[in-house]
């Protein structure tokens, strides 16, 4: 029989040889054993059944071939909650948690103690919309996405996390025509088209290109969003974008042109990269 320690050691060597993150082995074994990290580490000498071991090894080999760990487990953790992910949605990234934090602090400072409306444009898995609805109870949140398949995932995530969010199918802000919001947030596709082809196969072969490719310079969706936002955003109001590294100045300029009177701020993430742009109107 193989122990937890032996299985992890095998996975670490196998994944390292394949050029993958060796820590994926621990994540997959925790999934198959239904254990948290502390339980796994406390049971290094525990023997694993042949059935579990074979399923674990099969998933390690799939990840070595490029399948994201999150597609093998079926979920990603975001802001302490589990979100279903599959090939129809972008896997939530830790940097997006910083976007939520920045937005929460600005809501408290800029729009405190009142019932508020928020729109998450291009909601994907619903991670931003659902997290905002749960973290800021005074928010009534609407999420839009062009893909019905993505909205089905978002709907299941809202149900799983017991969140009240309205999801509407449509391109960017088009399904919101005639409505206005106190907060507009978006993590749109922002990778230049040519760079999408250079991404790791874990990303480019398994996550939807519609959630990655942002046009020739990566800024197409910010241009479209900023052109329509003045009619959507209340005053006072807050706009918040996640951006790609190096896009801060360009996106800040687009927001300033859309809202000449607004305070626009580029914020860097924990890794020191420009990652968020906020406009307070």
Residue 190 is assigned to a ligand binding site: yes
Relative orientation angle of helices 24-33 and 4-17, to the nearest 10 degrees: 140
215 marked as binding residue: no
Angle in degrees, CA 268, 269, 274, rounded to 5: 40
Q: Is 244 annotated as a binding residue?
A: no
Q: Is 187 annotated as a binding residue?
A: yes
39 is in an annotated binding site: no
Q: Is 184 helix (H, G, I), strand (E, B) or coil?
A: strand
Report the alpha-carbon distance of residue 159 to residue 164 in Å, rounded. 8
Is 271 flagged in the annotation as binding?
no
80 marked as part of a ligand binding site: no
Q: Does residue 155 have a known ligand-binding role?
A: no
Long-range CB contacts for residues 249-256, cutoff 8 Å, separation at least 24:
250/217, 250/219, 250/222, 251/219, 251/222, 251/277, 252/277, 254/219, 254/222, 254/223, 254/226, 255/226, 255/279
Longest dimension (CA), the chain: 68
Is 125 known to sit in a ligand binding site? yes
Q: Annotation-wise, does 123 bind a ligand?
A: yes
Q: Rounded distance, CA 142 to CA 183, Å?
A: 10
Q: Which residues sit in the known binding site for substrate?
A: 187-190
Going by the annotation, the residues of the binding site for S-adenosyl-L-methionine are 122-126, 145, 187
Residue ranges of the binding site: 122-126, 145, 187-190
């Amino acid at each position: 029989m193989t122990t937890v320690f032996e299985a992890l050691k095998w996975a670490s060597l196998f994944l390292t040889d394949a050029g993958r993150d060796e820590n994926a082995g621990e994540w997959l074994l925790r999934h198959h054993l239904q254990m948290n990290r502390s339980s796994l580490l406390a049971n290094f000498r525990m023997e694993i059944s042949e059935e579990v071991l074979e399923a674990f090894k099969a998933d390690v080999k799939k990840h070595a071939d490029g399948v994201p760990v999150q597609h093998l487990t079926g979920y990603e953790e975001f802001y302490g909650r589990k979100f279903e992910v599959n090939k129809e949605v972008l896997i939530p990234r830790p940097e997006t948690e910083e976007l939520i934090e920045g937005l929460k602090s600005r809501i408290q400072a800029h729009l405190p103690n009142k019932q508020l409306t928020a729109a998450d444009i291009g909601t994907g898995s619903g991670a931003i919309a659902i997290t905002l609805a749960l973290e800021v109870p005074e928010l009534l949140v609407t999420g839009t996405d062009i893909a019905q398949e993505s909205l089905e995932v978002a709907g299941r995530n809202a149900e799983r996390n017991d969140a009240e969010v309205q999801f509407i199918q449509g391109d960017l802000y088009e399904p919101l025509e005639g409505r206005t919001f106190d907060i507009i947030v978006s993590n749109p596709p922002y990778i230049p088209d040519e760079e999408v082809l250079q991404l790791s196969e874990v990303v480019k072969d398994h996550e939807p290109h519609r959630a990655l490719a942002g046009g020739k310079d990566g800024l197409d969706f910010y241009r479209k969003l900023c052109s329509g936002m003045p009619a959507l955003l209340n005053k006072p109001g807050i706009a918040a974008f996640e951006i790609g590294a190096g896009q801060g100045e360009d996106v800040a300029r687009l927001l300033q042109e859309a809202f000449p009177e607004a305070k626009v701020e580029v914020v860097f993430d924990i890794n020191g990269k420009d990652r968020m742009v906020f406009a307070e109107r």
